[in-house]
Each structure stands twice: as C-alpha cells, then as structure tokens.
Amino acid sequence: DDLRDLYQEVILDHGRKPRNFRRLEEADREGRGDNPMCGDRMQLWVKLAPDGRLADVAFQGKGCAISMASASLMTETVRGKTQEEARALAEKFRELAMTGTCPDCGGALEDEMERLQALGGVHEFPSRVKCATLAWHTLNAALDNADKEASSE
C-alpha cells in the first residue's frame, strides 16, 4: 500500500545516504557492535550535553542497507533524548523489529517511532532483524561504557 511504499522510500534513502555516518571527535561515549550472522561491525560515538542528554550521535561501519538505514534513523531519533529515553527507545525498537508491532500502542504511529516504523517490516525476515537492531545494540554498548574513556583510535 501507499504507507508501505513510503516506508520503503525512507529506508532506501537512509540506506543510500546514511545520516551521521562519520567519526565523532571528542566523544563522551564509544561503543562497538557486530552482527554475528554476517560479521558486519559498527562503531558508534556519543557526545553528551552538560545535562546528560545525547547531543550528537555518529557511527561508522560496514553493513547492509537495512543496517545502515536503521543506524541512520537511530542517530536522528535519539538526538536530544536523555540516556534513559534512548535506552527505552532501543528496547521498543527491538520489539518492533522482532514483531512488526510497537509494544506501546500496537502500531499506531507517533512521533519518533513513526519513522522507525519503516523498519518494522523486517520482522517478516527474521534473518534481517539483527541487521535492523545492530545500531541500537551498539548504542546501548556505548551508553554502558560510562566509565571508559572514549577511544580515539
């Protein structure tokens, strides 16, 4: 249907031109993730605002179009959020990717999840769920690295 087409367009656009695909200098958090199914890896950096919110999120890595689109949409979605909000979104997205349904509203579209809904279709392809969630796992890993200096290598 039309909505489905729109979603496809969003994914294609973000997959081809991932936003925030760059190294973040002087990051406050750094994390790595990998998709064990294919071996693709991702590195992600977070710059925190003085109040602890995510001021900037950027990533680099190699992966399929779905993983790139998901990471691109994720960086735009979590910017300005608190770390708790970002983790909650990661959990919500994981559910969405696995089931195709938002756990909170059962699928109605609302603010940030609306754009991510575009990736809800991956639940029909279980092998691609890890592609779609790679960026979110990597974000969680970065936020968990609170004690570790962000590496500059």
What single-letter DSSP state applies at residue 87?
H
Match 């693709």 to its residue by tokens.
40
CB of 70 to ligand FES, least distance (A): 9
* Residue closer to ligand FES, measured from CB, 31 or 63: 63
Locate 17 and state its tokens.
């031109």
User: Taking CB under 6 A as the rule, does residue 35 contact ligand FES?
Assistant: yes
Listed ranges 15-23, 49-57, 60-68, 137-145: which one lies at the site for ligand FES (CB under 6 A): 60-68
Residues that contact ligand FES, how many (by CB under 6 A)? 16
The mark string for 91-120 relative to ligand FES (x by CB under 6 A, - otherwise) is -----------x-xx--xxx--x-------
Residues whose CB falls within 8 Å of the CB of residue 137, separated by 6 or more in sequence, listed in order: 33, 90
Does 146 sit near ligand FES (CB under 6 A)? no
Q: Which CB, 67 or 138, lies closer to ligand FES?
A: 67
Q: Which residue has the tokens 């998709």?
A: 35
Which tokens belong to 136?
Answer: 């979110």
Q: Are 36 and 15 in contact (CB under 8 A)?
A: no
d(CA 6, CA 2): 6
Assess 64 for contact with ligand FES (CB under 6 A): yes
